[in-house]
Structure 1
Amino acid sequence: METVIFTVFDILNLLLVLFLWIYTVRIYKKLPEKIPTHFDLEGKPDNFGKKKFAFFMPVLSALFYVLFFFITKHPETGNFPFEITEVNQEMQFLIMIFLLKWLLFLVLLMFLNIQDYTIRYSLNSNSKARVHILLFIPFIFISVMAAIISAYIYR
């Protein structure tokens, strides 16, 4: 069952990476020469760069995808909150792999949201972010806490 869930996450995460690339390539020619490269907590740009920086998020997302993919293929190299034994090894690896695939999904959604806002703001300075960036932080924090609690239960 877990292999089906992991495969679904891998496909979903790959689709998010591909969508981010396609979205960026399709809109690139319409972008002005200067685009926002950083936003403050209120969503106002406080740094600008050349339009080639539009590819920063797609490149970063592809790197994260590859990195997380290889890390989850070799869970024995991970850092675990509890000692790994013969008894708990399978469950601890399962928890870690699920957490990493879920965190990658959240991070890719966050990158997509940032990219969308950057592009829309570049084309219209009255645009607002669809989802506030700070909304992702509680989801990431709760996910990590749930994984640690699960690892503790199955130690």
Structure 2
Amino acid sequence: MGSAVLIILDILNFLLVLFLWSYTLRTYKKLPEKIPTHFDFEGKPDHFGKKKFAFLLPILSGIFYVAFLFITQNPENGNFPIELTKANYEIQYFIMTLVMKWLLFLVLLLFLNLQDYIFRYSFNPDSKARVHILLFIPIIFISVMAAIITAYIYK
């Protein structure tokens, strides 16, 4: 069961990276020369740049995907909240892998949401983000805290 969840997260993460690239490539030609590149806490753009900036989030998503893949394939490079032993190695490795893939999923969703908002705002300044950008921060924080607590439970 555990490996099925990891495979599903791998597939979802890969599809999100592909979708972000596809969405960017499809929309790029239609973008105006200046697009929003930064937003304040209210979700209003406070900095604009050239439309080439549209490729930043897809490039970052690819880098994150490869980095997270490397980290989960090489657990000795991981940072575990408890000391690893022969008895707990397998469950701790599973917890770390699951959390890393889940965090990547959240980051990719954040990137996709930001890219969508950047593009929609470029065409219509009255647009709002589909999901408020600051909502991702507590979800990521809660996920990390849950992982640390779970690691201590199964030490």
Q: TM-score range by the shorter chain?
A: over 0.9
**Partners of 1:76 and 1:93 within 8 A in 2:** no
Query: Who is 2:48 aligned against?
Result: 48
TM-superposition CA deviations, 1:22-78 (whole Å, max 9, x none): 000001011000000000011111111100000000000011001101110011211
> What is the SS of the residue equivalent to 1:35?
strand
Deviation at 1:145, TM superposition (A): 0.7
In structure 1, distance between residues paired with 2:43 and 2:86: 49
Query: Who is 1:115 aligned against?
Result: 115
Deviation at 1:4, TM superposition (A): 1.4
Instruction: Give ranges in structure 1 of 5+ residues lacking alignment.
Output: none
In structure 1, distance between residues paired with 2:116 and 2:51: 14
Read off the aligned partner of 2:134 and give its amino acid letter: L
| Seq. identity, % | 70
Read off the aligned partner of 1:81 and give its amino acid letter: P
Query: Who is 2:34 aligned against?
Result: 34
> What is the SS of the residue equivalent to 2:29?
helix
TM-superposition CA deviations, 1:88-147 (whole Å, max 9, x none): 111111100000000000000000000000000011111011000111111111110110
Deviation at 1:83, TM superposition (A): 0.5
> What is the SS of the residue equivalent to 2:47?
strand
Query: Who is 2:131 aligned against?
Result: 131
**Partners of 1:9 and 1:105 within 8 A in 2:** yes
In structure 2, distance between residues paired with 1:43 and 1:142: 23
Ranges of 4+ aligned residues in structure 1 off by more than 6 Å: none
In structure 2, distance between residues paired with 1:108 and 1:83: 30
In structure 2, distance between residues paired with 1:114 and 1:125: 15
**TM-score normalised according to structure 2 size:** 0.98
Read off the aligned partner of 2:77 and give its amino acid letter: T
Matched, 1:152 2:149: no
Query: Who is 1:71 aligned against?
Result: 71
Query: Who is 1:22 aligned against?
Result: 22
In structure 1, distance between residues paired with 2:24 and 2:34: 15
**Partners of 1:33 and 1:51 within 8 A in 2:** yes
**TM-score normalised according to structure 1 size:** 0.98
User: 1:89-104, aligned counterparts within 5 Å?
Assistant: 89-104=89-104
Read off the aligned partner of 1:110 and give its amino acid letter: L
In structure 2, distance between residues paired with 1:6 and 1:149: 20
